[in-house]
Amino acid sequence: MSSPIARFSLEGKTALLTGASSGIGRRFAQVLAEAGATVGIVARREETLKEIAGQFERCIPFPADLSVPEAADELGRAALAELGPIDILVNNAAHIAGGVKAEDETLDIINTTLNVNLVSPIRLAQALYPSMKERGAGSIINVTSMVASVGIGRFPQAVYSASKGGLESITREWAAQWSRYGIRINSIAPGFIETGITADVIKKDNIQQWIGRNTLIPRHGQVEDFDGALLYLASDMSAYVTGQTLTVDGGWTAH
């Protein structure tokens, strides 16, 4: 009998990962590839994707601008044509207009945020659904946020929160409709994470003190903190898990 740990292996699996060029997405590309998956990596920056593909031989670039909803349809077709059936879809791409108050969010901000964070994940899942249904297997992982369920206020991001709340909600509805066909749909909801984009703000003394006071594990997250959640939901270790949100926020939302 094989070790249960072996069920974390993604050997022979094919994944499609959006938002792969930086931050948690870049880490996800590494983790999926090192677990044995062939990974289609998606982002706007083609040169960065090529650099990641050069570092991890199992990664294959798919440049796409997901602020244009039609791009998700084209991406789905291209990925299926080049990679074959997709076993794992990770909807990680995100747009955030940080620091803009709710009353000042423009129509351009609203449209771009909703297109990247909600509309494109929906279209991409729809594009991959038929092949997953035909094979009777698949794992869709939506990267949402703790702001899908709690207000923050200190970092204004109203439409971003709405988009992530919608993605978390549709996770449950997809699970209700598609799990009978062997397709599992779950979410990962990160808390505060240090990335290249957030580092300058998150490391300020007053922000560190605020995070420490409000997080049960008194620190902000690192991209490595999400390795286990990703591998669990992508692999057979979560074969009986669907429609769930795995919140990885150090306990911010627990009190």
The predicted structure's pLDDT at residue 1: 43
From the centroid of its chain, how far is CA 217? 23
The Cα–Cα gap between 252 and 238 comes to 24
Strand 88-91 to 193-194 pairing = unpaired
In angstroms, the Cα distances linking 78 to 12, 69, 112, 127, 174 are: 20, 15, 23, 10, 23
238 token code pair: 């979560």
Given the structure tokens 């249960």, which residue do they identify? 4
**Positive or negative CA dihedral for 138, 140, 141, 146?**
negative
The predicted structure's pLDDT at residue 157: 86
Q: Of 13, 12, 10, 16, nearest to 79 (Cα)?
A: 16
Helix axes 227-234, 23-34, angle to 10 degrees: 50
Quote the number of domains for the chain: 1
The predicted structure's pLDDT at residue 68: 94
The Cα–Cα gap between 234 and 55 comes to 22
Question: Which residues of the chain fall below pLDDT 50?
Answer: 1
Tell me the sheet residues that pair with 141.
90, 186
Q: Which domain holds residue 246?
A: 4-254
The predicted structure's pLDDT at residue 132: 98
In angstroms, the Cα distances linking 29 to 94, 183, 196, 211 are: 16, 21, 16, 28
Query: How many CA atoms lie within 13 Å of 214's alpha carbon, on the beta-carbon side?
Result: 16
> DSSP string spanning 43-112?
ES-HHHHHHHHHHSTTEEEEE--TTSHHHHHHHHHHHHHHH-S-SEEEE------TT--GGG--HHHHHH
pTM of this prediction? 0.95
- 183: domain CATH number? 3.40.50.720
The predicted structure's pLDDT at residue 97: 78
Query: Could you give the residue numbers annotated as active site?
Result: 160
